[in-house]
Amino acid sequence: MAEHVQEYFVWAVQVMRGPRGTNSALEGDLDELFHQSMSSDSVILLETVNFAAEKHRNQRRKDAEQTPYITHPIGVARILSHEGGITDIEVLQAALLHDTVEDTDTSIGELQIVFGQTVARLVQEVTDDKALSKEETKRKQVEYAPHASHQAKLVKLADKLYNLRDINRSTPTGWSTERVQEYFVWAAQVVRGLRGTNPALERQLEELFKQRGVEL
């Protein structure tokens, strides 16, 4: 099994050397995975990335560049690992999978079978109810944040941090200045309920809110 895994990584690196320059951020994140290719956790993460990429394969972000959606869950997992110091493999898996149930045909049952009870539970904790209106969904996120498990709070913090940075980088198509500000105000309300989870990530969020004149 180990030999097959190593062969796969060697082949993947060769492929990556060809079309470099397509998406530098995603390529950088993949490089990090390749450099750790023989650890068991990295193999697990690679399988999780592959699952998420397949599920999100036809989806794009709402930025002007219409970035492939998979860059978002990968980015959220990377924030947890590189900025939050998180090594809990199940938290990183949940980060990679956090939008699969909400935005694709994936079910919690499927995640339980493929990734186990803990990962499925974490994804369920951060998944919005599609039956609710946008306003009700936002209200529920604010209400639920303080009651989420510590692991789910980590995913939520990293998700908010990624999204706020992304909005600063490239305003979603069709969003007015007022809508952007409203999003920051709402995100701050959610983050207030997540305080005390990870100081490093919270400092980064505080700085973003400060730049927008939003109180935490």
Q: What is the pLDDT of residue 37?
A: 47
Residue 49 domain-assigned (yes or no): yes
Question: 83, 102, 128, 206: which is the annotated catalytic residue?
Answer: 102
Q: What is the pLDDT of residue 64?
A: 82
Residue 78 domain-assigned (yes or no): yes
Residue 30 domain-assigned (yes or no): no
> Which residues does the chain have with pLDDT short of 50?
1-3, 5-6, 9-11, 13-16, 37
Q: What is the pLDDT of residue 10?
A: 46
Residue 9 domain-assigned (yes or no): no
Backbone angles phi, psi at 87, to 5 degrees: -115, 0
* pTM > 0.85: yes or no: no
How far apart (Å, rounded) are the C-alpha atoms in residues 73 and 80?
11
Question: 103, 110, 128, 206: which is the annotated catalytic residue?
Answer: 103
Q: Can you give the CATH number for the domain in which 57 is found? A: 1.10.3210.10
Residue 47 domain-assigned (yes or no): yes
**Catalytic residue at 135?**
no
Residue 198 per-residue DSSP state: -
Number of domains in the chain: 1
Q: What is the C-alpha R_g of the chain?
A: 17
Residue 206 domain-assigned (yes or no): yes
Residue 10 domain-assigned (yes or no): no
- Its domain, for residue 184, covers 39-211
Q: What is the pLDDT of residue 43?
A: 87
68 DSSP β-pair partners: 60
Q: What is the pLDDT of residues 68-104, one digit of tens each?
A: 999 999 999 999 999 999 999 999 999 999 999 999 9
**Catalytic residue at 29?**
no
Contact between residue 108 and residue 120 where contact means Cβ atoms under 8 Å apart:
yes
Residue 25 domain-assigned (yes or no): no
